[in-house]
């Protein structure tokens, strides 16, 4: 995923819909009932679904019960296991007898299912995509109603509407220690590697095949070797003449998909090229800022690349994962020692079970096949619990965005004349727009658009030729797209556009609908008003714009970007959030160009951090070829630099940084590693009773624990091995015991750690660390510890409750999704009780609290009972109490009249309370009060309609009709809805005793009373307790 960098382009896909959690059945078992269908729809579709199932068809993804080829570990006596981990080799070996037999089985099962489905739906279903390798299922077009029917057919695991997900280097490789791998200095007895023999699968927006970052011959003279054999390519390039192909011996495959840009594999967005270049781009000199070229290269510059232009429909992304697994198998048939890394800088900012996602499960299959999966954590920070899928899957390698030491200084505009210019018009904060970079301007004439064309201050209409000749055009944001404004200014001779924001708040990067030929920057509404005032108060005003610059400051490195998504992960208790951090801020790499021009740009986001880890993993695989993908992940985590800061200088937590920033110089030399199987990942699904906290990962979380619990980890010795003493850095108030407390481990040996957590209910802080200190010349390692990512004891009180009735108070806890769950704390308050207090023990879910009482709302921190974040041990005192709206609201109107009475319609808002009612009439002359009608309503609707008839009333009288609505559970005197009635004089000779409403004074003696007509106006709303 990518966040927006100031001054640089950003063309991102958007999320089209909300998501819901879906339960997954046990492995290889049919569901007992229908699975939940996730309809990812736009707002217009939501409205149609609310109104009833519409007939428009959409593409749905369907996952079937059987495991895909990469995850099948056996169990059927007639089918041998096909999982690479079970077979003990990388790749799925498609040509083996076991694979062919299992694929035939999947085909037969799918065909049988489709036959059953056709019977259910009454029409034949034709698959659009078929998945067998990384997922088992298909896609097909159907209506939402048909998708609901499909979910009831036995054999279905998941039904999911197709939807879009988001797109979520120069100094970067050096900052993470890549040069020490390149030259071999970090690896004893190894010549080093720049990624030779590693293939990078980039699932993204395609690639610019003409950029020199992806040429077969690198600028340093290195000639790439194609693991498929020179001239053999994959995807759209398969079968091409090598002399005419867009592919080459570095870029060995390019895939396009019909649903994306008509099947073109070429990048027109720039995101995919940037990611590929960051991971494995050739060395290139780039004229970026200043007079001297900037040298950049990827982390693993001699790796090969396959690009999959699949962003961002989930159906095409799922298909791309199938192609990745198949391509790796094809490469292994030719070059058995080749390793593969996949980068996925794509995702949703939603916490959904990864066991119920096609992309997440596809990533698990790739890992099982021996492919390292680097995944962007997301750009929804800095809030807690913002990491989404698929990054939150425990088998993914989720990467946070941190800084390196290089700083790109944006240009700054300053009013330069005439005369002395006040400081507030110097070095104005400004954000560059997309388009040409600002290269510096000196004392250019400053012209306000409203002066040359009054009424066209926003530049949405063309200006006269020469209006801005050689000048800076100043105009206001709004009414039309930025590219129209800037091109109108350019056509009138402007060399630069200074755009004034039309509203207070954060400045934005101006995205361009069409190409523009001159640079632009946006300033705030306040600064803009001051600039316009200066222009109008001075003759010949001028402005200068400083040159952008590059500087290096180590103190600015290793800071977590605020946009980087954080943990914890509620749907995967025991998952921290990101696993690692890597540079992702202002990363310079190739973007989209064409055959005639290669373009480079600096972008920011976890999308840029993830390929740093992908490249790092590739280098580790090259120098440690016996490590599995899981072991590579653990090595990067065990050796990471944990001392990261937030942008504001405070210490970053494991929820944001994971284990820390990647350090390749250390990662290649760890004394032990950890691994985990796909079977254990599958069994850890909390929906099936699994515990992700017990997974064999290089971190600890006590999510799901009570006051104490025990977790285990299994370590495997590497070639470095070593002897280690275990030193525990405990969270305050908690005891952590590790056995053994010291150990020695040699290559291939295993050590099981038993870690016991005690006194968790006494925790006063949430973060700790387990250190493995080498007692010789080895490397010290560490694993982060968090108390489940959840906070400890909290309490609060409410003072001076004006309680006039017995009240039951219930405390609720709010989770990260805003759902309230009863916390089991209740307190009875009798009349006159002066205060109420509460105390909550630690709970294994995200800690926020809300409360309510029958008859009262308890508002905490002025959030109206919606909950708030609590720090460990925090005492909450700013809690207030307010009356809940009373249960009933009543409106009344006259429906019709009869002799001696009338029919009244009452509309009663019940708030769900059952009620009894009585309608009385009070005669103003006699004072008599008589019951007209009564009754009760127990099966209430939110709004209850009562039609009551008033009968037996006399003409020429004043009445008050009193409607009383009450509930015996509410200990308060019932109020009444009162309507004053004045009967009209009756007109003689009207026939049948009928009355007419003359509007005359009722006391006129010339008009005898013949019939009472109740004039009932709209009653005022009254609230009853």
Which tokens go with 735? 């005891």
Which of 832, 849, 883 is at the close of a domain?
883
- pTM of the entire structure? 0.69
One-character DSSP codes across 335-384? -TT-EEEEEE-EE-SS---GGG-HHHHHHHHHHHTT-EEEEE--S-TTST
At 945 the three-state DSSP class reads: strand
Q: In a 10 Å sphere around its CB, with 0-12 CB exposed, 13-18 middle and 19+ buried, how is residue 108 labelled?
A: exposed
Query: The domain that contains 1008 carries what CATH number?
Result: 2.60.40.150
- Three-state DSSP string of 76-114: CCCCCCCCHHHHCCCCCCCCCHHHHHHHHHHHHHHHHHH
- DSSP secondary structure code for residue 386 in this structure: -
Looking at the fold, whether 322 and 466 belong to one and the same domain comes out as no
User: Last residue of some domain: 667, 701, 718?
Assistant: 667
pLDDT of 987 reads: 45
Looking at the DSSP assignment, which residues form a beta bridge with residue 603?
587
d(CA 863, CA 854): 18
381 in a domain, yes or no? yes
Co-location of 146 and 181 in the same domain: no
CA 572, chain centre distance (Å): 15
d(CA 86, CA 104): 20
User: At how many degrees (to 10) do helices 629-638 and 606-623 cross?
Assistant: 110
1 located within any domain = no
Note whether 173 and 315 are same-domain residues.
yes
The answer to whether residues 148 and 37 touch, using CB atoms and an 8 Å cutoff, is yes
**Does an H or E element contain 751, and which?**
strand 750-758
Domain count, the chain: 6
Tell me, yes or no, whether 17 lies in a domain: no
- Considering the domain architecture, whether residues 742 and 725 belong to the same structural domain is answered as yes
Q: Report CA 320 to chain centroid distance, whole Å.
A: 22
Does 248 share its domain with 381?
A: yes
Asked if residue 26 is part of any domain, the answer here is no
Q: Judge whether 315 lies within some domain.
A: yes
- Does residue 836 share a domain with residue 915? no
Kindly state whether residues 573 and 508 are assigned to the same domain.
Answer: no
**Cα distance between residue 678 and residue 368, in whole Å:** 6
Residues 498 and 523 in one domain: yes
**How far apart are alpha carbons 476 and 459 in whole angstroms?**
8
Residues 232 and 381 in one domain: yes
Residue 418: give its domain's CATH number.
3.50.30.30
CATH number reported for the structural domain that contains residue 181 in this entry: 3.40.50.200
Q: Do 861 and 914 share a domain, yes or no?
A: no
Q: What is the model's pLDDT at position 899?
A: 62
The token pair that represents 562 in the structure block: 């605020």
Angle between helices 606-623 and 271-280 (to 10 degrees): 30
What spatial distance separates the first Cα and last Cα of the chain, rounded to whole Å? 52
Give the residues of the chain that fall short of pLDDT 50.
1-34, 40-54, 169-170, 789-810, 812, 814-818, 820, 824-836, 838-886, 971-973, 985-1025
Question: Given 726, 754, 786, which residue is the final one in a domain?
Answer: 786
Active-site residue numbers? 204, 271, 607
Q: Side-chain half-sphere of 892: how many Cα atoms within 13 Å? A: 27
CB-based contact 202:307 (threshold 8 Å): yes
Nearest to 686 by CA among 389, 359, 388, 354: 354
Q: Which domain holds residue 879?
A: 796-883
Integer Cα distance of 781 and 660 in angstroms = 12
Phi-psi region of 443 (alpha: psi -120 to 50; beta: other; left: phi over 0): left
User: Per-residue pLDDT tens for 81-107?
Assistant: 999 988 888 888 899 999 999 999 999
Cα radius of gyration (the chain): 35
Q: What is the CATH number of the domain that holds 767?
A: 2.60.40.2310
Tell whether 710 and 762 lie within a shared domain. Answer: yes
**Residue 238, number of CB atoms within 10 A of its CB:** 15
Tokens, residue 681: 């990942």
Residue 75 lies in a domain: yes
CATH number at residue 140: 3.30.70.80
Q: Are 787 and 760 in contact (CB under 8 A)?
A: yes
Encode 559-598: b = buried (16+ Cβ within 10 Å), e = exposed: bbbebbbbbbbbbbbbbbbbbbbbbbbbbbbbbbbeeeeb
Has residue 15 been placed in a domain?
Answer: no
With a pLDDT cut of 90, the percent of the chain lying above it is 45
- 621 and 712 inside one domain: no
* In-domain check, residue 969: yes
Distance CA 566, CA 569 (A): 9
């Amino acid at each position: 995923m990518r966040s927006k960098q100031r001054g640089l382009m950003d063309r991102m896909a958007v999320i089209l819909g909300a998501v819901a959690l879906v339960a997954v059945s046990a492995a290889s078992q049919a569901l007992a009932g229908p699975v939940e269908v996730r309809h990812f729809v736009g707002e217009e579709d939501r409205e149609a679904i609310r109104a009833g199932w519409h007939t428009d068809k959409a593409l749905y993804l369907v996952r079937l019960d059987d495991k895909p080829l990469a995850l099948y570990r056996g169990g059927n006596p007639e089918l041998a296991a096909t999982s690479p981990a079970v077979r003990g080799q990388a790749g799925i070996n498609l040509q083996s007898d076991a694979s062919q037999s299992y694929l035939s089985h999947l085909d037969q099962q799918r065909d049988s299912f489709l036959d059953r489905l056709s019977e259910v739906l009454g029409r034949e279903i034709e698959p659009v995509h078929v998945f067998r390798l990384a997922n088992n299922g298909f896609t097909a077009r159907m209506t939402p109603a048909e998708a609901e029917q499909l979910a009831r057919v036995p054999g279905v695991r998941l039904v999911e509407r197709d939807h879009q997900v988001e797109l979520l280097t120069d100094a970067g490789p050096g900052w993470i220690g890549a040069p020490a791998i390149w030259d071999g200095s970090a690896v004893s007895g190894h010549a080093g590697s720049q990624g030779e023999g590693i293939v990078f699968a980039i699932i993204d927006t395609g690639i610019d095949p003409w950029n020199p970052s992806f040429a077969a011959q690198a600028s340093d003279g290195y000639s790439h070797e194609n693991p498929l054999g020179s001239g053999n390519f994959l995807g759209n390039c398969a079968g091409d003449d090598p002399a005419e192909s867009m592919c080459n011996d570095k870029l060995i495959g390019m895939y396009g998909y019909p649903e994306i840009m008509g099947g073109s594999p070429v990048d027109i967005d720039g995101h995919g090229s940037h990611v590929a270049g960051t991971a494995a781009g050739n060395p290139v000199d780039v004229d970026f800022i200043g007079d001297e070229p900037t040298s950049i290269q990827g982390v693993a510059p001699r790796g090969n690349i396959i690009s999959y232009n699949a962003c961002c429909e989930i159906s095409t992304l799922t298909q791309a994962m199938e192609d990745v697994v198949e391509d790796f198998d094809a490469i292994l048939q030719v070059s058995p020692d080749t390793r593969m890394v996949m980068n996925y800088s794509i995702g949703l900012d939603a916490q959904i079970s990864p066991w119920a996602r096609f992309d997440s499960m596809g990533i698990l299959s790739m890992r099982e096949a021996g492919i390292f999966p680097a995944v962007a954590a997301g750009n929804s920070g800095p809030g807690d619990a913002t990491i989404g899928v698929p990054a939150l899957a425990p088998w993914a390698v989720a990467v946070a965005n941190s800084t390196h030491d290089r700083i790109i200084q944006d240009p700054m505009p300053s009013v330069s004349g005439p005369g002395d210019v006040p400081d507030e018009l110097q070095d104005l904060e400004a954000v560059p727009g997309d388009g040409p970079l600002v290269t510096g301007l000196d004392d250019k004439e400053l012209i306000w658009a409203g002066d040359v064309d009054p009424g066209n201050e926003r530049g949405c209409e063309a200006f006269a030729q020469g209006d801005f000749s050689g000048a800076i055009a100043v105009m206001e944001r709004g009414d039309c797209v930025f590219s129209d404004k800037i091109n109108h200014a350019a056509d009138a001779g402007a060399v630069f556009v200074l755009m004034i924001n039309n509203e207070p708040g954060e400045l934005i990067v101006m995205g361009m609908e069409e190409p523009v030929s001159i640079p632009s920057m946006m300033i705030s509404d306040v600064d803009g008003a001051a600039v316009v005032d200066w222009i109008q108060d001075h003759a010949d005003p001028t402005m200068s714009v400083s040159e952008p610059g590059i500087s290096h400051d180590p103190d600015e490195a290793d800071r977590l970007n605020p946009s980087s998504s954080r943990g914890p992960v509620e749907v995967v208790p025991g998952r921290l959030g990101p696993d690692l951090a890597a540079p992702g801020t202002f990363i310079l790499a190739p973007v989209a160009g064409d055959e005639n021009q290669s373009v480079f740009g600096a972008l920011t986001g976890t999308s840029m951090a993830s390929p740093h880890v992908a490249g790092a993993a590739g280098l580790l695989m090259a120098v440690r070829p016996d490590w599995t993908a899981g072991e590579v992940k653990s090595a990067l985590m065990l050796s990471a630099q944990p001392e990261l800061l937030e942008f504001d200088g405070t210490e970053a937590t494991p929820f944001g940084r994971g284990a820390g920033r990647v350090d390749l110089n250390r990662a290649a030399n760890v004394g032990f590693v950890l691994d985990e199987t796909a079977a254990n990942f599958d069994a850890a699904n909390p929906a099936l009773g699994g515990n992700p906290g017990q997974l064999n990962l290089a971190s600890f979380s006590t999510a799901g624990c009570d006051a104490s619990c025990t977790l285990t980890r299994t370590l495997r010795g590497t070639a470095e091995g070593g002897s280690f003493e275990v030193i525990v850095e405990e969270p305050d108030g908690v005891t952590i015991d590790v056995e053994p407390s010291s150990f020695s481990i040699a290559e291939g040996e295993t050590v099981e750690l038993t870690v016991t957590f005690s006194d968790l209910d006494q925790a006063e802080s949430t973060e700790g660390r387990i250190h493995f200190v080498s007692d010789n010349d080895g490397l010290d390692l560490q694993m982060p510890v968090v108390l489940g990512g959840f906070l400890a004891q909290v309490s609060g009180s409410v003072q001076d409750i004006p309680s006039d009735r017995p009240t039951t108070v219930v405390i609720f806890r709010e989770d990260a999704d805003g759902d309230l769950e009863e916390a089991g704390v209740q307190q009875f308050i009798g009349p006159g009780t002066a205060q109420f207090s509460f105390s909550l023990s630690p709970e294994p879910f995200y800690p926020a609290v809300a409360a309510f009482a029958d008859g009262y709302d308890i508002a905490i921190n002025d959030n109206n009972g919606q909950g708030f974040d609590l720090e460990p041990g925090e005492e909450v005192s700013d809690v207030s109490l307010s009356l809940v709206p009373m249960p009933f609201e009543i409106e009344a109107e006259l429906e019709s009249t009869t002799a001696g009475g009338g029919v009244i319609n009452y509309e009663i808002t019940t708030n769900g309370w059952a009620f009894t009612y009585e309608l009385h009439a009070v005669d103003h002359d006699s004072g008599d009060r008589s019951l007209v009608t009564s009754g009760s309503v127990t099966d209430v609707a939110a709004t209850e309609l009562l039609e009551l008839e008033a009968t037996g009333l006399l003409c020429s009288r004043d009445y008050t009709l009193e409607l009383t609505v009450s509930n015996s559970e509410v200990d308060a005197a019932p109020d009444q809805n009162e309507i004053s009635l004045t009967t009209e004089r009756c007109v003689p000779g009207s026939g049948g005793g009928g009355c007419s409403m003359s509007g005359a004074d009722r006391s006129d003696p010339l008009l005898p009373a013949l019939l009472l007509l109740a004039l009932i106006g709209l009653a005022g709303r009254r609230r009853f307790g």
